[in-house]
Amino acid sequence: MRDAEARESVATALVVDDLGTERERMAAILLDAGWQVSTAGSGAEALEKARAERPAIIFMDIVMPGMDGYQACRRLAGDPLTRTIPVVFVSTKCQRADQVWARMQGGKALIGKPYSEAQVLDALRFAAR
């Protein structure tokens, strides 16, 4: 397989968080798992990147200034170009009510911060269904 074909066959994940350290941590886990990673620092940037790059999955923080993760997820779900991309929320807000609300907003799952590598890998498998 040529290098270009190999790169195209590797799935891409979009990591969205307003904190650079959180983006880096999630990206490191995904890169170690063999994924290509793109990042965004806001909900608005996530919408642009999701439309342009069409990632296989999006890991999205909920609490962000401007457009929060829930708003961004609803916008993604309403866009024909991005509606099939699974969104996994990643947040300190992870009580039972938050889990239910995240699904009502279109998310496939919600993992709490701080999270483990195993939780991220489980979310990848779950969201791929």
* CATH code assigned at 8: 3.40.50.2300
Q: What percent of the chain is predicted at pLDDT more than 90?
A: 83
Q: How many beta carbons lie within 10 A of that of residue 63, not counting itself?
A: 13
pLDDT confidence bin for 10, thresholds 50/70/90:
confident
Rounded Cα gap, residues 87 and 108, in angstroms: 6
- pTM for the complete prediction? 0.90
* 90 strand-pairing partners: 61, 111
**pLDDT on residue 128:** 64
Concatenating the DSSP letter of every residue in 4-48 gives: HHHHHHS-EEEEE-SSHHHHHHHHHHHHHTT-EEEEESSHHHHHH
The residue-averaged pLDDT of 103-118 equals 94
Write out pLDDT tens, residues 46-76.
999 999 999 999 999 999 999 999 999 999 9
pLDDT confidence bin for 13, thresholds 50/70/90:
very high
What's the N-to-C CA distance of the chain in angstroms?
A: 27
Rounded Cα gap, residues 90 and 63, in angstroms: 9
Q: 93 lies in which domain range?
A: 3-127
Rounded Cα gap, residues 29 and 16, in angstroms: 14
Number of domains in the chain: 1
CB 43 within 8 A of CB 64: yes
Instruction: Report the mean per-residue pLDDT for the chain.
Output: 91
